[in-house]
Amino acid sequence: MTMLTIPSHMSHRLQPLDVTCFGPLKNIYNRELDKWMMLGNPGKRVTENDIVELFASAYEATAS
């Protein structure tokens, strides 16, 4: 059995899902949210339905 250690403060760089899937998804979701707030909904609250729509478009962009 081989035991691997990860250097301090480097685990986020070495975990493949964080780098290839969740990181880009987070970035694209934040961009979608920024666009939603700036373009047509300044000062409005984001509802659960809005979150679903924003996440769906971010997920489609990331998963393709």
**What mean pLDDT is predicted for residues 36-55?**
92
Helix (H) or strand (E) holding 53: helix 48-63
Cα 32 to Cα 3, 11, 23, 37, 63, distances in angstroms: 41, 27, 14, 9, 15
Percent share of the chain, pLDDT over 90: 52
pTM for the model: 0.73
pLDDT of res. 17: 75
pLDDT in tens, 15-32: 777 778 888 999 999 999
